[in-house]
């Protein structure tokens, strides 16, 4: 077996944050369908969340280094038989919708702590448990590659791109890959709390003319976790129906047609 596939055994688990909702929950579902065990982490879990075999639920605030140490301890115990941790998906995230004119220092602190520092702490805590072939996927945003009115959120996601590329550089010699996906408008509890106007203009500016589903993002993340992408690291992949690709070209094309 080559170095690039040695950690991708069926029984090696993947840690997923933000696993109780939206994109993170869809990733858990996809991994289970692929018979990959999951350590599912989130701030809290609904009391009536169904128990599922192969899913170990944990409470984690991604801002907390001690919380990550506890997850690492659990992952080390879970991987004893498999030999190594297969991967990490950093899907936990929060939005801050303040614009430049009223954004506060607290908006920046919170957004950066959860959306950038959190994933970095996770990579630091869990990479030592990984071997060649392991894969880390960060969840960025269309707002990580463009201007976006929610300035603290956008800045934190731009920061996550830097963390992704630096981690890819640092962990490459161990055969560990690190990539980032950039969802466009995806139907989750996060976007359900946004205005109708925000949804409508996203659909209008998305060449595929619709919003995306959490499962469509999970499918791409699953591919980045798998050996099918064994030579892809430090890469950024838009999962946005073409939203960011046209860079403003779409309304221009429409205006002159």
- Interface contacts to ligand NAI, rule CB under 6 A: 17-18, 20-24, 42-43, 60-63, 91-94, 114, 139, 141, 183, 185-186, 188-191
Alpha-helical (H) ranges within the chain are 22-33, 65-78, 105-112, 118-126, 151-171, 189-192, 196-204, 214-225, 249-256
CB 133 within 8 A of CB 7: yes
> At its nearest, how many Å lie between ligand NAI and the CB of residue 2?
32
> At its nearest, how many Å lie between ligand NAI and the CB of residue 21?
3
> At its nearest, how many Å lie between ligand NAI and the CB of residue 256?
30
Tokens of 157: 């996601």
The dihedral over CA atoms of 90, 96, 99, 105, expressed in degrees to the nearest 10, equals -100
- Cα 191 from Cα 194, distance rounded (Å): 5
Q: Could you list the active site residues?
A: 153
């Amino acid at each position: 077996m080559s170095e690039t596939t040695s950690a991708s055994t069926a029984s090696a688990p993947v840690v997923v944050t933000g696993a109780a909702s939206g994109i993170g929950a869809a990733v858990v579902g996809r991994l289970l369908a692929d018979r990959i065990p999951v350590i599912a982490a989130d701030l809290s879990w609904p009391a009536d969340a169904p128990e599922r075999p192969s899913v170990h639920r944990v409470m984690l605030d991604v801002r907390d280094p001690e919380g990550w140490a506890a997850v690492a301890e659990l992952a080390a115990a879970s991987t004893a038989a498999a030999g190594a941790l297969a991967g990490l998906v950093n899907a936990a995230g929060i939005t801050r919708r303040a614009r430049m004119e009223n954004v506060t220092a607290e908006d920046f602190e919170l957004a950066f702590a959860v959306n950038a520092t959190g994933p970095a702490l996770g990579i630091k805590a869990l990479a030592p448990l990984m071997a060649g072939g392991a894969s880390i996927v960060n969840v960025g945003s269309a707002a990580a590659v463009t201007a976006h009115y929610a300035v603290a959120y956008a800045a934190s996601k731009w920061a996550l791109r830097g963390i992704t590329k630096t981690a890819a550089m640092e962990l490459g010699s161990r055969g560990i890959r690190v990539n980032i996906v950039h969802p466009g408008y995806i139907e989750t509890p996060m976007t359900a709390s946004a205005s109708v106007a925000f949804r409508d203009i996203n659909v209008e500016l998305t060449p595929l003319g619709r919003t995306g589903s959490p499962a469509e993002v999970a499918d791409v993340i699953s591919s980045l976790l798998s050996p099918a992408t064994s030579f892809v690291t430090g890469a950024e992949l838009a999962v946005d129906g073409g939203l960011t690709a046209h860079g403003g070209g779409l309304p221009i094309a429409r205006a002159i047609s």
